[in-house]
Structure 1
Amino acid sequence: MRHTLRAIVAVLAMAALAAGSGAAVAADKLTVRLDFSPWGVQAAMHLAQNKGWFKEAGLDVDIQDGRGSGNTIQLVNAGQADVGQVQVGLVGSARAKGATIRSIATFQRRTDLCVLVDKDSAVSKAADLRGKTVVVFAASPWTPFIDVYLKSAGLTRDDLKIDVVDPAALWGTYLAKRADGLMSTVGSALPIAEQSRPSKCLLASDANIAFPAYGLVAREDTIANKGAALRKLIQVEQRAWQHLRTNPDDGVKAMIAERPDARLDPAVLLGQIKLTLDYFDTPASKGKPIGWQAQEDWEAALKSMEAAGVVNPGWKAADYYTNALIE
C-alpha cells in the first residue's frame, strides 16, 4: 500500500512539474488586425504565420482581416485588438480625436499616396488635373490632403471634379473610365490597374506631402503591458520582410495558403509586394533596422498634417511613435 501511495505521489508530482513547465513556456497571445482584405502589404504577416515563425518565437498570433485602416485603428484603440497593421500616418488624426495609440514600427516608411492616371496620358503633374474628374472615397487617408495637394499646383476644387464615392465603388468608377484619376496608394493600386487600365502615379510627395505608409500601431497601455510580446512580433516581421526582399514569391504562396477562399491573384500580389518593398526606405531611415522610425520623417509628416488641419500646432513627434520595441 505504501509503495502504491508513493507511486501515486510521484506521478502527481511529475504531472504538476510538467504543468508548471508548460505554463512557463505558454505562448504569448496577440490579436493583430490588418488594414483590409488580403493584399501584398500583408505578406510578411502571412508568411510568418505560414512558416510557423510566430510559434517558433513563442507567440500565438490571431491575424484578422480588416475593413480599412481607420476602422482597424478604432478597434485597436477600443481594446478589441492588440495590434493594428495600418497606414501609420493615420495615428495623427486618431490622436487628435483622443486615441492613445502610437506607431510601434513603420515598415513602409516612404510616402506612397498617389493619384493614378492613364499610363499614356499627357497628365504628368498635379496642375494637369485641371478640368479632370478624380475619384476618392470619403475615409481615404487622401481626404484631408486634397486641398493641400491642389493648392501646390495652383488649383482649387472649382478647377476639377472630386468625386467622393463609397469604397466599394472606387475601382469600378476608375476602371470604367468614369474618372480620369483615382486617389490611392502606389503599392495597392498600380498592380490592380495594370490588368484593366494600365496607369502611372502622380505622387503626393511631389507636392511636399509627407505621410508614413504601412506599419504597426498599438495602444500605450498595450505597449507598457505587452512590450515583450510586441518586441517578438516586430522581430519576426523583420525576419519575414528581410526574406521577402529576395524571395517575394514566397509571400504570394503564403498569402494564398493562409487565405485560400479569397480568390487572390498571384500576379497582383507579387506586384504589390515588390512595390511595398520599394517604398521601405527614406533618406533618414536608410540603413536602419526594418521598422525603425526617424524623427525627421515624423516631423515632416506632422507638418503636412498641421497644414491640412489634421493636428493642431504645438505637437511633439515623440507622442506619435516609439522605437523602444525595435532592435
Structure 2
Amino acid sequence: MRQILTAAMLSFCLLGGSASAQDVTKIKFTLDWKLQGIHAWCYWALDKGYFAGEKLDVSIDQGEGSAATVTRIMSGAYDAGFGDINAIIQNAAVKPAETPLMVYMVYSKAPFALLTKADGPVKSLKDLPSTRLGSPAGGAAFKLLPLLARTNGVDYASIKITQIAPNLQEQLLLQGQVDSVAVFSATSYMNLVSLKLDPDKDFRWMFYSDLGLDLYSNGIMVSQKLAKERPDAVRGLLRAINRSIKETLADPDAAIALLAKYEPLIKKDIERRRLLYVYQSLMDTPEARELGLGDVGETRLKSAISTIVTSFELPRSPNAGEVFDRGFLPDKAERTPPVIAP
C-alpha cells in the first residue's frame, strides 16, 4: 500500500512539474545593437528575476540595427525585440499579417540626426548640396534622409553620399573625409565623449524631429503570434521592462555594474552617461509626461505613419492599430517618467 501511495505521489509531482513548466513562456528577445548602457533595463529585469516572476523565460541577443529587429521577428527567429517603429510601418504596408506590433514606445523623440563639426561647412540643411555625407547603408537615419531633404527643399541627388562603417562615422568626420554624418544620437554622442571631445560645443546636431520629421523611434515590439497566443506574457514582459527602466534610472551605478557582468569590456563611465543622456534627451519628453512612458499620441502616430508612407512611396497606409497596440501597457500610474538628478 505504501508503495502504491508513493508511486501515486511521485506521479502527481511529475505531472505538476510538467504543468508548471508549460506555464512558462519562452521569449527570444533581440536588441537593436551591441550592448550599451541604454540596454541596462533589459538585463536588470533578467538578473533581478522580474521576467521569471512573470513566468517568462527570456533569452537576449545583441542586434544588427534597429530596423533589423523587425526582420528578425518576421523571420520567426525572435519573438520580441527592441527596434524601430518606422521599420514596422514600412513592413506593415506590404506584409500586415507578418509584421510585429510595437507595444511600448521607449524613444518618444527620435534620435535621428545629422552631425557636423561646429567649424565645418555644413551649418544648416541648405548647405548639404555638393557636400560629402557619410552613413552606413542600413542606418535608419540614412534611410530617412531623402524625406528630410524633400521636406526642407533640399535636392537629395546633389548630396555626395559615401557609405561608411558604423564604427568609423565620427572618425571620418573628424578627419575631414566627410562633411556630415547621418547618425543615431544615442550612439554618436557618447562616441564623441569617449574621444575626449565636447559633443555640445565642438559639434552641431541637426535633429530630424526639429526639421519637420516628428517621428517616433525605438520601442518594444512583439510578434503577432505572441500577442495573439500569449497576451498575458506580453503584459508580463512590459511590466518587467517598465519596472526595470525606472529602477535603472534610480540607480544608474548599480545598473551599469550589473550590465558589466554580461559585457565586461564596456566602459562603465561612458555607458552610465549614455543611459542618462538617452533618458533625458529621448525618453523624458512632454508627451511622455502627459501619457506615461510607453504610450504614443494618436494624432502624432497617424501623422508619422503618413510621413513614412509618403517618403517610401508605400503601396498602402497601415492604420495605427497595425503599428502600435497600447492594450498591453501597464497602468498609467506605473509609467510616470521618473525625475532624476542632473
TM-score by length of 1: 0.88
Moved over 6 A (4+): none
1:307 match: secondary structure: helix
Match of 1:304 in 2: 307
Match of 1:37 among 34, 57, 74: 34
Match of 2:248 in 1: 244
Quote the Cα distance in structure 1 between the aligned partners of 2:254 and 2:116.
31
Q: Residues 69 and 314 of structure 1: is their aligned pair in 2 closer, same or farther, counting only changes over 3 Å?
A: closer
2 CA distance for matches of 1:13 and 1:175? 74
- Cα deviation, 1:236-287, whole Å, max 9, x if unaligned, reads 0000111123222233112211223xx2122221222112212114544433
Where does structure 2 lack aligned partners over 5 or more consecutive residues?
A: 331-342
CA distance in 1, matches of 2:119, 2:46: 40
For 1:160-239, what aligned pairs fall within 5 Å after superposition? 160-167=159-166, 169-196=168-195, 197=197, 198=199, 199-239=203-243
Q: Provide the rounded CA distance (Å) in 2 between the counterparts of 1:50 and 1:302.
A: 36
- Equivalence for 1:89: 86
Per-residue CA shift, 1:122-173, capped at 9, x if unaligned? 7553224454322111111123321222234432135442222344544543
Aligned residue number for residue 3 of structure 1:
none
Q: State the AA in 2 paired with 1:274.
A: L
Query: In structure 2, what is the equivalent of residue 70 of structure 1?
Result: 67
Q: Which residue of 2 aligns with 1:264?
A: 266
- Aligned residues of 2:44 and 2:255 also touching (Cα < 8 A): yes
Alignment of 1:129-148 (within 5 A): 129-148=128-147
SS at match of 1:25: helix
Give how far 1:323 is off.
0.9
Q: Say whether the 8 Å CA contact 2:114–2:183 is kept in structure 1.
A: yes
Does 2:11 align with 1:16? yes
Say if 1:285 and 1:294, in contact at 8 Å, map to a contact too.
no
- In the other structure, the counterpart of 1:101 is 100
Partner amino acid for 1:204?
Y
Identity of aligned residues (%): 17
Residues 1:274 and 2:271 aligned together = no
Secondary structure of the 1:69 match is coil
CA–CA separation in structure 1 for the residues paired with 2:305 and 2:193: 33
For residues 275 and 69 of structure 1, the distance between their equivalents in structure 2, rounded to whole angstroms, comes to: 19
Query: Structure 1: any 5+ residue segments left out of the alignment?
Result: 1-5
8 Å contact from structure 1 (residues 175, 193) kept in 2? no
Q: Give the whole-Å Cα distance in 1 for the aligned partners of 2:313 and 2:62.
A: 27
CA distance in 1, matches of 2:28, 2:18: 20
User: Quick one: which amino acid aligns to residue 71 of structure 1?
Assistant: A
Distance in 2 between the 1:314 and 1:68 partners?
Answer: 24
When the two chains are superposed, the root-mean-square deviation of aligned CA atoms in Å is: 2.3
**Length-normalised TM-score, structure 2:** 0.85
